[in-house]
Amino acid sequence: MRAGLDFINKARAENPPDGRYDLDGENLYAIIQSYATAPVAEKLPESHRKYADIQSLLSGEEAIGWHPVEKLEVDTPYSEEKDIMFYRNAHGETLLLLVPGLFAVFYPHDAHKPGCSIDAPRDVRKIVVKVACP
């Protein structure tokens, strides 16, 4: 986790281009990406089995929905290749506000719905650090 947070701080200072950055092979890597947020209802919660995510914005703002995975119904079964599973939307979701300077950590038991707009679509630049889980 510490190495991932160090990369986030370095990226804030240096503003590297979008892409994948290997920090410790498949044990720890980062993805920098740019996209536009979308309405909460258009997004689906997701989870991962192999990695925890550290998510932080370089620019923009977004909401991220959160639910414990055991309270959700599977929409798209787990893909071993992509390490992702999608769930159906459900009531009772907690919305987190992510802005530059903050970060959120999501473990395999955390279903999260990134890329949600707050009041209108916004362009964001985001870092997702993938930390292998034992």
In this structure, what DSSP letter does residue 101 have?
A: T
**Which two structure tokens, joined as six digits, stand for 93?**
């979701």
* CB distance 23 to 4 below 8 Å: yes
pLDDT at 134: 84
Domain count, the chain: 1
Q: pLDDT 10s digit of each residue in the chain, 134 long?
A: 999 999 999 999 999 999 999 999 999 999 999 999 999 999 999 999 999 999 999 999 999 999 999 999 999 999 999 999 999 999 999 999 999 999 999 999 999 999 999 999 999 999 999 999 98
**Cα–Cα distance, 89 to 91 (Å, whole number):** 7
Beta bridge partners of 128: 31, 55
* CB distance 40 to 120 below 8 Å: no
Q: How far is CA 39 from the centre of its chain?
A: 16
Q: Which domain holds residue 26?
A: 2-132
**Which two structure tokens, joined as six digits, stand for 119?**
């009041």
In this structure, what DSSP letter does residue 40 have?
A: G
Q: How many CA atoms lie within 13 A of 60 on its CB side?
A: 23
CATH number of the domain residue 114 falls in: 2.60.120.370
In this structure, what DSSP letter does residue 71 have?
A: G
pTM, 2 dp: 0.94
**Cα–Cα distance, 12 to 130 (Å, whole number):** 17
C-alpha triplet 44, 45, 50: angle, nearest 5° = 130
